[in-house]
Homo-oligomer: A and B are copies of this chain.
């Protein structure tokens, strides 16, 4: 059975008829306030473990501490100097925007209501607003979940631009191990755009569902149950996915597509995805800090959602794309790739499967299309973004020349009726862009 629900880490429907309060809620309790992992040892009921760290509120601590729970590999920033981010503080906290149900809220209000860990606004390359909450700090690497996909997509576009990968070729041309899987006869471009026909369902309370099998590979549910004989590495897992339907017909958000891209990248470059991110982005851009990526038990990285980076380095990466691929005095990403990322995709493909969404949930309200592992927003500034579950955003507004980074630890993956994150966030970011443009 093919679910119409997107896969973890996905963005999902379910927000129709949400009733939002106009009251300014108090900030949510932070990890220290909750007593998580405090003391030596922490009390038994306050321990964040490999088996429970995705559960709220434990995730408030976990998303800044993934390496303490999982095997990880460094994204090395190199030995070069840190690129300067000129600071020009602006009091953006009082900027308001109209969000769901006509509610008008301020940025301060959004940040308080949406389990914010870090929030940055970069305007024309200058750091104009920066806030840390919940124990987060500028040097701390935060799990960005599916925002990882946009880094991987950008790498693949660069390899295509360089002629190393042919986007029209089937996946099996580079990775014969996937010949008999759902992906074998899909083109690289279809995988990039997530229009592959894959039998992939997502039922959180069914440990036999695909999403559980994917998470299992990366230790998401703790030790496997006795007798579990499913795949335990990404290399064993991907070939098990079966084709369903035709490729190229409809956008279907399936995280393992990105892991397929990761496999191709490794195979053609001879280097891991994280080494590619290090050499192609982190080192030339003068990242402030090493990043790291979450691994399976045999060294395979979670290309679909395992990157952990600082808010400032996420902002630097966003600015590269907005700035024609240039940053830190270098052409880091080809201009053609940066332009392509900023170009909207095909809205018909985007809604073919999720057609019921527009007008009834935030998907339809704020996003327009998806291609090359980037989201396009249906707004007046032509914004695009990298998005991850539990409230991760790298939002690029080309018209306002603004990058917004939001790193969060929302209780649900996909947002709930009382969560401002996924629903109200992009609407308020658009208001921020309008404010900056109108100054």
Q: Name the contact of A266 in the complex, choosing from B40, B72, B263, B300 (C-beta under 8 A).
A: B40
Contacts of A68 in B (CB 8 A): 71-73, 295, 299
Given contacts A68-B299, A298-B49, contact A41 B73 (CB under 8 A): no
Contact status A41-B233, CB under 8 Å: yes
Given contacts A67-B67, A79-B139, A139-B79, contact A297 B50 (CB under 8 A): yes
CB closest residue in chain B, given A38:
B270
Give 27 A-B contacts (CB < 8 Å), ordered by A residue: A40-B235, A40-B263, A40-B267, A40-B272, A41-B233, A41-B235, A41-B298, A41-B299, A41-B300, A42-B298, A47-B299, A49-B298, A50-B71, A65-B73, A67-B67, A67-B72, A67-B74, A67-B292, A68-B71, A68-B72, A68-B73, A68-B295, A69-B71, A72-B72, A79-B139, A223-B223, A226-B226
How many copies of this chain are found per oligomer?
Answer: 2
Bound-state CA distance A416–B73 (Å) is 32
Contact status B299-A37, CB under 8 Å: yes
Q: Does A70 touch B at the CB level, under 8 Å?
A: yes
Contact status B42-A299, CB under 8 Å: yes
Q: Which A247-264 residues have a C-beta within 8 angstroms of B?
A: 263
Q: Does A130 touch B at the CB level, under 8 Å?
A: no
CB closest residue in chain B, given A263:
B40
Q: What string of 1s and 0s marks CB contacts (under 8 Å) between A270-304 and chain B?
A: 00100000000000000000101001011110000
Point out residues on A near B: beta carbons under 8 Å: 37, 40-42, 47-50, 65, 67-74, 76, 79, 139, 223, 226, 233, 235, 263, 266-267, 272, 290, 292, 295, 297-300
Contact status A139-B298, CB under 8 Å: no
Bound-state CA distance A76–B300 (Å) is 26
Contact status B76-A67, CB under 8 Å: no
Contact status A47-B290, CB under 8 Å: no
CB closest residue in chain B, given A235:
B41
Say how far A276's CB is from chain B's closest CB, in angstroms. 12
Contacts of A47 in B (CB 8 A): 298-299
Bound-state CA distance A71–B69 (Å) is 5
Bound-state CA distance A157–B70 (Å) is 33
Say how far A328's CB is from chain B's closest CB, in angstroms. 18
Contacts of A74 in B (CB 8 A): 67
Bound-state CA distance A37–B71 (Å) is 15
